[in-house]
């Protein structure tokens, strides 16, 4: 019986991950682990998010003073700012964030070693980690200003 289980037994699937932002695959042991607070405080990140094809219509509406566009941008901010788990991100997007790359890389290694269960102590929704001024500033930029350079030429 043991021989049959060894031959036909289910093999454990290898742990895989893809970038939480770009969706590109990340090789085991690579990438960077960031917290939601680190993600939402990046203006470059919000400029990218609010000008993606899926969100551009809301951005255009917002800058044309249509409240529906502003409301959707607020919902997008809340969706990302409320993420409880840390974000595994790829080399291609790390420069959007002003973070200690060595620390983020070391945290990613711990994350891989624990098959995604490691979380830095400051992980969690942004409003629980950032002080009220930082949170409000990030929220205001994301909702009211992000993407303006692509719209207002």
Tell me the three-class secondary structure of the chain, residue by residue. CHHHHHHHCCCCCCCCEECCCCCCEECCCCCEEECHHHHHCCHHHHHHHCCCCCCHHHHHHHHCCCHHHHHHHHHHHHHHHCCCCCEEECCCCHHHCCCCHHHHHHHHHHHHHCCCCCCCCCCCCHHHHCCHHHHHHHHHHHHHHCCHHHHCC
The verdict on residue 145 lying in a domain is yes
Q: What's the CA gap between 132 and 37, in Å, rounded?
A: 12
Q: Say yes or no to pLDDT of 80 above 70.
A: yes
**For residues 13-32, average pLDDT:** 93
Band of pLDDT at residue 104, cut at 50, 70 and 90: very high
Q: In the chain, how many domains are there?
A: 1
pLDDT value at position 138? 98
Per DSSP (E only), the strands in the chain are: 17-18, 25-26, 32-34, 87-89
- In a domain, residue 7? The reply is no
What range does the domain containing 128 cover? 16-151
**Which of 4-13, 42-51, 87-96 is predicted least confidently?**
4-13
Structural domain includes residue 5: no
Q: How confident is the model at residue 12 (pLDDT cuts 50, 70, 90)?
A: low
Q: Is the pLDDT of residue 108 over 80?
A: yes
Per-residue pLDDT at 81 exceeds 80:
yes
Q: What is the pTM of this model?
A: 0.87
10 assigned to some structural domain: no
Per-residue pLDDT, averaged over 53-64, amounts to: 94
In a domain, 2, yes or no: no
Place 151 in a pLDDT band, splitting at 50, 70 and 90: confident
Q: Is residue 38 part of a domain?
A: yes
pLDDT greater than 90 at residue 107: yes
pLDDT of residue 15: 85
- Identify whether 6 is part of a domain: no
Within-domain flag for 8:
no
Q: Which carries the bigger pLDDT value, residue 10 or residue 148?
A: 148
């Amino acid at each position: 019986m043991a021989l049959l289980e060894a031959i036909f037994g289910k093999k454990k699937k290898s742990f895989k991950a893809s970038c939480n932002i770009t969706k590109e695959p990340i090789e085991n042991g690579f990438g960077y682990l960031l917290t939601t607070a680190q993600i939402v405080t990046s203006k470059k990140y919000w400029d990218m998010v609010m000008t993606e094809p899926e969100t551009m219509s809301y951005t255009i509406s917002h800058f044309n003073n249509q409240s529906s566009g502003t409301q959707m941008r607020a919902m997008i901010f809340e969706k990302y700012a409320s993420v409880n788990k840390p974000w595994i991100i790829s080399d291609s997007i790390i420069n959007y964030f002003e973070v200690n790359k060595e620390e983020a890389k070391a945290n990613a290694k711990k994350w891989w070693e624990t098959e995604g269960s490691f979380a830095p102590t400051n992980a969690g929704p942004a409003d629980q980690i950032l002080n009220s001024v930082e949170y409000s500033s990030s929220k205001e930029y994301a909702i009211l200003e992000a993407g303006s350079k692509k719209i207002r030429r």
